[in-house]
Amino acid sequence: MPFQPLCENSETDMINHPLHVSPDKLRDFCIAILCSLGVSMGDATTTADVLVEADLQGIDSHGVARLSYYVHNLASGRVVAKPKIQKIWETPTTATLDGGGGLGPPVSVKAMKLAITKAKKYFVGMVAVRNSNHYGIAGYYSALAIHEGMIGFSATNSLTLVVPTFGSKIMLGTNPLSLAVPGGKRGNFILDMATSTVPIGKVEVFDRQGKEMPRGWATDEFGQVTVNPSMVLHNIYREQYCGGGLLPLGGEGEETSGHKGYGLAVAVEIISALLAGAAYSDLVYPRDAEGKPLPAGIGHFFGALRIDGFRDPVAFAQDLDDLLDRLRRSPKATGRDRIFTAGEKESEIRLQRSRNGIPLHAKVHAELKKLAQELEIPAPWLFPTMEV
Amino acid sequence: MPFQPLCENSETDMINHPLHVSPDKLRDFCIAILCSLGVSMGDATTTADVLVEADLQGIDSHGVARLSYYVHNLASGRVVAKPKIQKIWETPTTATLDGGGGLGPPVSVKAMKLAITKAKKYFVGMVAVRNSNHYGIAGYYSALAIHEGMIGFSATNSLTLVVPTFGSKIMLGTNPLSLAVPGGKRGNFILDMATSTVPIGKVEVFDRQGKEMPRGWATDEFGQVTVNPSMVLHNIYREQYCGGGLLPLGGEGEETSGHKGYGLAVAVEIISALLAGAAYSDLVYPRDAEGKPLPAGIGHFFGALRIDGFRDPVAFAQDLDDLLDRLRRSPKATGRDRIFTAGEKESEIRLQRSRNGIPLHAKVHAELKKLAQELEIPAPWLFPTMEV
């Protein structure tokens, strides 16, 4: 049965690459790579699971495509392979963890689990994390609460890529947030969204395709909307950054309410970085005088909330089923045959990819081959000539 | 000293109307009106304060401009004048209140104060409200936490006006959310935003001015983006609703990420209505078989969070000062001379209007005069000829 693409991402994959890999194979490969760089087996397993889960859900930008970035940061010392994770603050319902400069996923899973433990006892638990790194998809952590029948929340600040409304310099990350709500027959509601209009990866796709971007995605160095993706990328990645970047959700200025996306991005910055005492705004991902990368220092926030803190969870699940159903069954716009709810597409792609394997984009495939060779990790399935 | 308009709203006010009223006068007038309809002095005072606070902050759409709507609902029985507010569920950190079908502000202030009381003891408190009505500006309640040095959160569902992404029928309200964070020298951060691109009031302004709307605000009855404000209003307010409405933040489809605004709107629907067991989606504001309005049944959500649940609040306030400062001082886009942070404009307008009075829009002025005459409330300042 051929792989049926459900979204833009996977469609591009299919065109560019037919190699499908089983999630287990991919997970084991990530574990081997990370362990070879000194990461403990436990931390490597957690990190691999977060990456492969992104691929399973079709969020390819946050999957194994990030592995070489993680490897690069471990090699450069920006990420500590064996960090000392410490609980530096605690109350019955809240806590702050210091990630010790290690990989994002291990400390994030610890933090989310601590929030859940606190919620089990006190109905709500909230944990902030500082001194951490890129944590992958925000929805991985919020969804951990779903397994316990709770509502989960997660947010993180990140590398600066987004200009404030009326600004011309990137001062905020794409700062994603995620809310995960356990449902009944109609499935869960899992919102996982960057607070920018699009991730930088989408600008890169348009650049590769030589296409103009829609208005509202990014600005030039003068803070004016541009439809030219290569100019935006050039400005961001050149030696001396000179201005321009992604726009907040809602686009430019106030006309289409870009100030709301900007406000959301700052809200995420405050709860994920400032509450934890993490680095924030353009202080994240610092470098020393020689340009050597120092620990990123970013922060995360995790929350868990028991539904039976407010009402009977069975009645709640029935209402959620009905709400999702009403939205999906409501009249469609001309030319559209389906209305989705958050997390629905991802859950369908997950089913397909669990069955048919994860399609590897040509570029990602090449990167993984390079990693396997450089770090001498046996992975015959990555090399077509060796493939059975 | 002339009133200096800081935002679009107040600019329009100045052009259309020169009458400036002191906040106290306006508050007393609202109290008198509400009491004359059977609302208790306490509830009337709370409601008046929420309305006038919106006017003070320049959020004129949610100020005394809503008074005649409240009066209309009290008169029709949609809103219960003397509701029985009940605590129907409670744990150490959470609770659910039933608003008894009364005005939104009194039960909302009770709920937010209960969340704060719980947070004082347990570091976090969350309270849901069902069986309520329009609660005014979301930021009023979240800001109550600021007075206690806490972070506040508030959200509500509302009258359906927003189409889901790929849909043609209004299934969600403009579902606002607010996060209020206490700051230091640089002021507080108060995000208060509807999850639609714009409120319906902005469509009405463009309709009155005979202007085309920007793309991304609203759709026609087929779910296609339209720039024609009168068509949108006609579709929504006609006897038999036939489709179309406001677009979620991000606009249409996925190109400019309207699905994110749609996701946020559903997230607000879930935490404010479903957690409380309130009415949701197109079940809000029902009518009986004869078309008589029944209680709206909407829900709210309130949260309070102690900063010292995570770190030293003094260090936090210093970081927030620095973050706000960095954003405001960052390079401006060509043609812009200022970058704002959430709540900054409102706080400046509040200072000016506290000093110079609240400018009454001609339409609102006329409405208040009508209310004064109908309900026989003495308010000579509303009648120019009687003015000193």
DSSP character at residue B292: P
Q: Is the pLDDT of residue A2 over 60?
A: no
B-contacting residues in A 358-377 (Cβ below 8 Å): none
Structure tokens at A133: 């790194």
Contact residues on chain A for B123, CB-CB shorter than 8 A:
91-94
Tens digits of residue pLDDT in B330-351? 999 999 999 999 999 999 999 9
Q: Count Cβ–Cβ pairs < 8 Å, chain A vs chain B.
A: 272
Residue A301 lies in a domain: no
Strands A218-219 and A189-193, bridge-based pairing: unpaired
DSSP character at residue A273: I
For residue B315, what pLDDT band results from cuts at 50, 70 and 90? very high
pLDDT at position A249: 98
Angle, vertex CA A322, rays to CA B193 and CA B95, nearest 5: 60
CA-based torsion, B50, B52, B55, B61: positive or negative: positive
For range A285-301, the mean pLDDT: 93
Q: Does B241 touch chain A (CB under 8 A)?
A: no
Is the CB of B309 less than 8 angstroms away from the CB of A197? no
| B4-20 residues labelled b (16+ CB within 10 A) or e (exposed) | ebbbebbebbbeebebe
Of the candidates A95, A267, A276, the beta carbon closest to that of B179 is on: A267
Q: For residues B64 and B30, is the Cβ–Cβ distance under 8 A?
A: yes
The CA distance from B281 to the nearest CA of chain A, in Å, is 7
For residue A385, what pLDDT band results from cuts at 50, 70 and 90? low
Share of residues in chain B with pLDDT > 70 (%): 94
Structure tokens at B5: 């308009």
B-contacting residues in A 145-184 (Cβ below 8 Å): 151, 163-169, 171-172, 179, 181
Contact residues on chain B for A274, CB-CB shorter than 8 A:
316, 319-320, 323
Higher pLDDT, A385 or A133: A133
CA nearest to B323 within chain A: A281
Q: For residues B177 and B195, is the Cβ–Cβ distance under 8 A?
A: yes
CA atoms within 13 A on the CB side of B280: 27
Instruction: Provide the β-strand partners of residue A20.
Output: A359
Is the CB of A341 less than 8 angstroms away from the CB of B166? no
Tens digits of residue pLDDT in A231-260? 999 999 888 899 999 999 999 988 999 999
Residue B237 lies in a domain: no
pLDDT at position A18: 64
Q: Does A302 touch chain B (CB under 8 A)?
A: no
Q: Does B352 touch chain A (CB under 8 A)?
A: no
Tens digits of residue pLDDT in B135-148? 999 999 999 999 99
Q: Is the pLDDT of residue B285 over 60?
A: yes
Q: Is the pLDDT of residue B111 over 90?
A: yes
Residue A47 lies in a domain: yes
pLDDT at position B239: 80
**Which CATH number covers residue B51?**
1.10.1530.10
CA nearest to B216 within chain A: A256
Instruction: Provide the β-strand partners of residue B93.
Output: none
CA nearest to B315 within chain A: A277
pLDDT at position B386: 47
For range B352-359, the mean pLDDT: 96
The CA distance from B352 to the nearest CA of chain A, in Å, is 22
For range A364-369, the mean pLDDT: 94
Q: Is the pLDDT of residue B164 over 60?
A: yes
Tens digits of residue pLDDT in A144-200? 999 999 999 999 999 999 999 999 999 999 999 999 999 999 999 999 999 999 999
For residue B18, what pLDDT band results from cuts at 50, 70 and 90? low
Contact residues on chain B for A171, CB-CB shorter than 8 A:
326-327, 330
Q: Is the pLDDT of residue A16 over 70?
A: no
How far is the C-alpha of B274 from the C-alpha of B268, rounded, in Å?
A: 9
Give backbone dihedrals phi and psi of A125, rounded to 5 degrees, phi first. Answer: -140, 140
Q: Is the pLDDT of residue A14 over 50?
A: no
How far is C-alpha A48 from the chain's CA centre? Answer: 14
Higher pLDDT, A326 or A19: A326
Residue B10 lies in a domain: yes
For range B105-110, the mean pLDDT: 98
ipTM of the shown complex: 0.94
CA nearest to B319 within chain A: A274
pLDDT at position A354: 97
CA nearest to A221 within chain B: B333
Instruction: Provide the β-strand partners of residue A97.
Output: A87, A129
Q: Is the pLDDT of residue B133 over 50?
A: yes
For range A80-109, the mean pLDDT: 98
Q: Is the pLDDT of residue A318 over 90?
A: yes
pLDDT at position A324: 98
The CA distance from B377 to the nearest CA of chain A, in Å, is 40
Contact residues on chain A for B128, CB-CB shorter than 8 A:
310-311
User: Using CB atoms within 10 A of its CB, is residue B161 exposed (0-12), middle (13-18) or buried (19+)?
Assistant: buried
Is the CB of A266 less than 8 angstroms away from the CB of B307? no
Read out DSSP for A8-47?
A: HHHHHHHHH---EE-HHHHHHHHHHHHHHTT--HHHHHHH
CA-based torsion, A101, A160, B342, B105: positive or negative: negative
Give backbone dihedrals phi and psi of B172, rounded to 5 degrees, phi first. Answer: -135, 155
CA nearest to B325 within chain A: A281
For range A91-98, the mean pLDDT: 98
For residue B207, what pLDDT band results from cuts at 50, 70 and 90? very high
Query: What is the CB neighbour count within 10 angstroms for residue B77?
Result: 13
CA nearest to A191 within chain B: B263
pLDDT at position A7: 38
B-contacting residues in A 304-343 (Cβ below 8 Å): 305-307, 309-311, 315-316, 319-320, 323, 326-327, 330-334, 336, 338-342
For range A249-276, the mean pLDDT: 96
Residue A173 lies in a domain: no
Contact residues on chain B for A172, CB-CB shorter than 8 A:
327
Residue B245 lies in a domain: no
How far is the C-alpha of B364 from the C-alpha of A305, rounded, in Å?
A: 42
Is the CB of A333 less than 8 angstroms away from the CB of B306? no
A-contacting residues in B 8-37 (Cβ below 8 Å): none
> Residue A11 belongs to what domain range?
1-76+342-388
pLDDT at position A105: 98
Residue A71 lies in a domain: yes
CA nearest to A340 within chain B: B165
Number of structural domains found in chain A:
1
Q: What distances in angstroms separate CA A262 from CA A172, B92, B213, B316, B341, one per listed residue?
A: 9, 35, 22, 21, 9
3-state secondary structure of A112: helix
Residue B361 lies in a domain: yes
User: Using CB atoms within 10 A of its CB, is residue B57 exposed (0-12), middle (13-18) or buried (19+)?
Assistant: buried
